[in-house]
Structure 1
């Protein structure tokens, strides 16, 4: 782990992981709180490191201090919530499921992503920010689940932008850096800047990359915010086949068609059925256990939006049906709408 001033989170993190590991390596980049003392109470080996705005360099330094054949990488604001010890011991290197909470539409929502965090000795990182593991070994999804709270109501924009711009100056055509820069601007509600960098990333990104679906979905959300409907149409036309079986893609399509129809109802009314169609596909994909990025796009969020759609057209029985599906997931807005029907 690399840490700085993490006394708020560190104890919870180390308590969650200590039964699964043989040693704990903590690299501290200049804490002024009780981080180091907390680490030592858990038997951690603590090393001081001068921060250079380079996450990969710090992680690689930490890896050199490990005496183990395999290394689990965590951040202080993460905690293990699930670990199938028998299966992990039968596998080698892998990606672990990191779930995060974030704010959207004044609600707390959750996302999930698989990231390489269980590494063999000799694997290393590259990239000053949003660093990636450099290894030719195959990536395997591991039965390990982590909950990450670091970006919930926390603004790390200034730090991230400085490092991302520095990286981009060295690699101006790197699709991954362009994507991360676009996401950062979107987080800051700077949608024009976000759209600019999403477009550049979209034009050069390899569609087989793990981040590509998220790139497309967030690009469309950004264009919706800017009311740039025709560029969004172009992307949807291109992505309907390669991403058609992804619930997050279908969900943003539903949002898009709704906003497009409402932008000029008289002119765009023919697109109204596509709203319903998108959310029904979401639910069908969810029933097939297609993986979501944002939890609920294949279940309670899609069902709730269908309820709103049917209620808007006074189809109260159908609205109630889908609100009940959503409410079964304890989604509070759906429960509230049921009380009014």
Structure 2
């Protein structure tokens, strides 16, 4: 771990992981609170490190202090929620892979608390290392394997690291001007700040440079479309959807944003665009079908309660109350409060 002033989170993190690891390596980059004291109460080896605006360098310094054959990387605002010890230990008998763990995060969207999930390379064999000043990535040609390890991350919830992130991302981009991943992260940062023109520019640059096999590609496309919707740039969004219907057709998040797009497009000029109305319904029905096929969501609910709720709204709008009630009930079964509220009014 690399930490600084994490006394609020560190104890919870270390309590969650202590039964699964043999040693704890903490690299502190200048804490002035009780971070180091808390780390030492958990038996951690603590090393001081001068921060240089380079997360990969700090990660690699921490890895250099480990005596273990395998290394789990965590941040202080993360905690282990599930770890299948038997399955993980069996897999670790083979050292020819990089382990990906499922990281679930909460964030604010439409004045609601929502959750996302993504598998990230975090369990590394000795010798693997990081590259990238921020949103650092593991540099290895080894196969990536998903492990039965779940982590809950609170770092995106009501916190603002924009100034720090932008500074480092811009530095990184100046050294790698055509790096699709840096461009994508810069675009996401601007979108988080509601600077949609800048976000669209960098999403477009990233999209043009990206390898479609990269794990972040679906999220890139989905967030690019959301950004174009915010800017009311419907025809570039149409072009994107036309290109992505086949390669991303099995992504609930992609189908969900298509539903959002068609709704906004129809409402922008109802008389002119009314023929696209059925595509709203179609998109959300595909979301639910993909959910039944267990296709993985990035944002939780796009293949279940969020899609069902939006269908309920769609049917209610056309006074199809029985259909609206049916889909609100599907959504409410997931304890989605807006769906429960709509049911009370029908």
Query: Structure 2-normalised TM-score?
Result: 0.98
Runs of at least 5 residues in structure 2 that lack an aligned partner in the other structure: 93-97
- Which one of 134, 139, 163 corresponds to residue 134 of structure 1? 139
The counterpart of 1:185, out of the listed 166, 173, 190, is 190
Other structure's SS at 2:312 match: helix
Give CA-to-partner distance per residue, 1:172-201, whole Å, 9 cap, x none.
111100000000000000000000000000
SS of 1:318's equivalent? Answer: helix
Structure 1 SS opposite 2:19: helix
CA shift digits 1:70-98 (9 cap, x unpaired): 00000000000000000001113310000
Specify the SS of the correspondent of 1:61.
helix
- Residue 195 of structure 1, aligned match among 169, 183, 200: 200
The CA distance in 1 between the partners of 2:71 and 2:208, in whole Å, is 36
Aligned length: 341
Name the SS for the 1:139 alignment partner: strand
- Rounded Cα–Cα distance in structure 1 between residues aligned with 2:298 and 2:186: 19
**CA deviation digits over 1:184-220, x for unaligned, max 9?**
0000000000000000000110000000000000000
- Distance in 1 (CA, whole Å) between partners of 2:144 and 2:91 is 11
SS of alignment partner, residue 326 of structure 1: helix
* CA deviation after TM superposition for structure 1 residue 291, in Å: 0.2
Shift of 1:221: 0.0
Aligned counterparts of 1:229 and 1:205: Cα–Cα separation in 2: 22
Is 1:67 the counterpart of 2:82? The answer is: no
- Return the alpha-carbon distance in structure 2 between the equivalents of residues 301 and 48 of structure 1: 45
Name the CA distance, whole Å, in 1 between partners of 2:135 and 2:162. 13
Q: Displacement of 1:40 after TM fit?
A: 0.3
1:80-128 Cα shifts (integer Å, max 9, x gaps): 0000000001113310000000000000000001000000000000000
Q: Aligned equivalents of 2:267 and 2:208: distance in 1?
A: 29
In the other structure, the counterpart of 1:321 is 326
CA RMSD in angstroms comes to 0.4
Residue aligning to 1:28: 28
Q: For residue 110 of structure 1, give the secondary structure of its aligned residue in structure 2.
A: strand
Displacement of 1:135: 1.1
What is the deviation of 1:279?
0.1
Structure 1 residue 56: deviation in Å? 0.2
Q: What is the SS of the residue equivalent to 1:210? A: coil
